[in-house]
A and B are shown apart, each in its own frame.
Chain A
């Protein structure tokens, strides 16, 4: 049962344009959502997160939008840079504790072309 889904395995955008990565979830009990960036043979690095009580969170070039009714979240990267090329994972957890377990999506490979 894949509770967190990233249905687009890959995305290619031009440098300077917007990248939009999507994530859907099935468990309405999730309270917190996170986005991670991962390079091959490395561990994920944290990008941005959002609580279920909010619908938007912004940090520099990264913005995460949450639509609870649709059980959908998206990560916007503006403007996209070649260094953003990596695999992006969304993750979700129940509860407010930072020690709760994370459930990850399958990942989306982003390629930003110069």
Chain B
């Protein structure tokens, strides 16, 4: 079946630094990539939607200059958290979608900003 590889699975960074999270679709071409954020015991909140080669569409309230999303190819999307602060600590999950198989989620990245 479809597999999405998300790296790293966890990362600890210092406040003020930037962190990049990668999401790769291994055996299919992802027409669309979604990035979610989940706080403990809460829902998966959609942050942005990106299509290959296009600028990402951000949900209301999500700072596009802080959460940089690049979808350079049909198999790779990256989320960069710039100038991270402790309140950015969260669980980030990507989802890759094609028109045939639907949505496949990555395993998530636990970001801790100290």
Tell me the A residues contacting B by CB distance below 8 Å: 2, 4, 9, 34, 36, 41-46, 89, 97-99, 101-107
Contact = CB atoms under 8 A, between A and B. Distances in A.
Given A9-B41, A103-B46, A98 B101 contact: yes
Contacts of B44: 44, 89, 104
A43 B106 contact: yes
* Interface residues of chain A: helix, strand, loop or mixed (majority): loop
B105 interface: yes
Contacts of B95: 43, 102
Contact of A46 (B4, B32, B102): B102
Contacts of A4: 43
A102 B43 contact: no
Contacts of A104: 36, 43-46
Interface residues of B, number: 29
Contacts of B4: 43
B67 to A, nearest CB: 16
Nearest to A98: B102
B110 A41 contact: yes
A99 B34 CA distance: 9
Interface string B89-114: 00101010111111101111010000
A99 B97 contact: yes
A107 B105 CA distance: 16
State the 9 A-B residue pairs at the shortest beta-carbon distance, nearest first: A43-B105, A99-B32, A98-B102, A104-B44, A106-B43, A104-B43, A99-B97, A43-B107, A44-B105
Contact of B108 (A2, A43, A98): A43
Given A43-B106, A98-B97, 19 more contacts: A2-B43, A4-B43, A41-B107, A42-B107, A42-B108, A43-B93, A43-B95, A44-B44, A46-B102, A89-B43, A89-B44, A98-B100, A98-B102, A99-B97, A99-B98, A104-B36, A104-B43, A104-B45, A107-B41
